[in-house]
């Protein structure tokens, strides 16, 4: 422990959320005495006056911006306008106001959805501008990608220390299991456990199962974010991932096996697969701030399933 966080005031937007809960826990373990989490009840970070009020009150030295309006393919298709506007306005105004106040560092969290639909695998950071994102989540991905542009522009013009990280899909205990907005792993775990509990003999899955995804355990992603906060100070975007890829079909079969569901898997091919493949090149994260994902996929899934069983 270097002591970097001990006497700094660290504002974690979204600190009460899924990823945020792991980031704040790890800050505590690093001896951070001032972890400041603006709650959604007190501050609407889409509104500039609320951002100003929040900064006036908590006066942070470092901002880790995790707050986002997010969801799976269904939620992205239903709310493209909302996802674009709210994510853009939150990030852009938080960064601008941080610059005006001379805040020491801003850590902007992007998304793997910012990458072009057809990106060579594994995704390298320099490929991020080589095409348009996958259509179902493009508004969200592009809103987040504008924070990379802003970070780089502000560093160039004002010397403002803002960094931009690109985490892949997260999973783990405390994830969002609401079927209207959850991502694929919690959605599948819930489907299997609920089918067992209700005695149903099949589950239904979207798409063909042919698409692939990479996942990182939320605790490992939180570690990467804090390592970058302490050690990384440059304009280049950096991937946060595990470097591991699995098809949705294999993922479904793995979750079916781990939950003990014995029924049929039905594929609704009228629904989209989303981006064909997702897998990140994680070389730069290891090189710049020593990140290596520690949690094996099977171990992480077992912990997530166990958590859902106990908290459903």
Domain annotation covers residue 49: yes
Its domain, for residue 170, covers: 9-175+215-243+278-295
What would the pLDDT profile of 42-63 be if each residue is shown by its tens digit?
999 999 999 999 999 999 999 9
CA dist., res. 95 & res. 25, Å (int): 24
Provide the phi-psi class of 134: left if phi over 0, else alpha when psi is between -120 and 50, else beta: beta
Domain annotation covers residue 129: yes
140 is catalytic: yes
Task: State what percent of residues in the chain have pLDDT above 70.
Answer: 100
Quote the pTM value.
0.95
- Long-range pairs for 152-156: beta carbons < 8 A, 24 or more residues apart: 152/235, 154/95, 154/99, 155/235, 156/235
Report pLDDT for 73. 80
135 has a pLDDT exceeding 70: yes
CA gyration radius for the chain? 19
Provide the phi-psi class of 185: left if phi over 0, else alpha when psi is between -120 and 50, else beta: alpha
Domain annotation covers residue 120: yes
Domain annotation covers residue 233: yes
* H/E run at residue 11: strand 9-13
Domain annotation covers residue 70: yes
Domain annotation covers residue 255: no
Q: What is the mean pLDDT of residues 78-104?
A: 97
Mind giving me the DSSP string for 238-256? EEE-----EEHHHHHHHHH
Active-site pick, 43, 55, 115, 140: 140
Report pLDDT for 295. 97
Report pLDDT for 240. 98
**What is the CATH classification number for the domain harbouring 136?**
3.40.50.720
Coil, strand or helix at 225: helix
Number of domains in the chain: 1
CA dist., res. 246 & res. 251, Å (int): 6
pLDDT range class, residue 70, cuts 50, 70, 90 = confident
Q: What is the mean pLDDT of residues 270-287?
A: 94
Domain annotation covers residue 309: no
Report pLDDT for 170. 96
pLDDT range class, residue 213, cuts 50, 70, 90 = very high
Domain annotation covers residue 312: no
Report pLDDT for 1. 63
CA dist., res. 247 & res. 253, Å (int): 10
Report pLDDT for 74. 83
């Amino acid at each position: 422990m270097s002591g970097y966080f001990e006497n700094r005031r660290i504002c974690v937007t979204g600190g009460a959320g899924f990823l945020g809960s792991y980031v704040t826990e790890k800050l505590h373990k690093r001896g951070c005495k001032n972890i400041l989490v603006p709650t959604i009840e007190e501050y609407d970070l889409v509104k500039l006056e609320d951002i100003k009020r929040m900064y006036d009150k908590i006066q942070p030295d470092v901002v880790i911006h995790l707050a986002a309006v997010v969801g799976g393919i269904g939620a992205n298709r239903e709310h493209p306008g909302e996802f674009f506007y709210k994510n853009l306005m939150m990030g852009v105004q938080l960064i601008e106001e941080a610059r005006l106040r001379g805040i020491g560092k801003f850590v902007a969290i992007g998304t793997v959805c910012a990458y072009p639909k057809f990106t060579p695998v594994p995704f390298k950071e320099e490929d991020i501008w080589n095409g348009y994102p996958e259509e179902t989540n493009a508004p969200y991905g592009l809103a987040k990608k504008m924070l990379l542009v802003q970070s780089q522009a502000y560093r160039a013009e004002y010397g403002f220390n803002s960094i931009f990280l690109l985490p892949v899909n997260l999973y783990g205990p405390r994830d969002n299991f609401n079927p209207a907005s959850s991502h694929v792993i919690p959605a599948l775990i819930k489907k299997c456990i609920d089918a067992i509990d209700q005695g149903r003999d099949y589950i239904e899955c979207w798409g063909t199962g042919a698409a692939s995804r990479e996942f990182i355990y939320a605790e490992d992603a939180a570690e990467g974010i804090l390592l970058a906060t302490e050690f990384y100070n440059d304009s280049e975007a950096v991937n946060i991932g595990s470097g591991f890829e699995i098809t949705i079909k294999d993922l479904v079969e793995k979750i079916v096996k781990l939950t003990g569901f014995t029924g049929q898997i039905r594929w609704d091919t009228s629904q989209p697969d989303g981006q064909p493949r997702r897998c990140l090149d994680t070389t730069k994260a290891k090189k710049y701030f020593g990140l290596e994902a520690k949690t094996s996929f099977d171990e992480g899934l077992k912990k997530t399933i166990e958590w859902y069983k106990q908290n459903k």
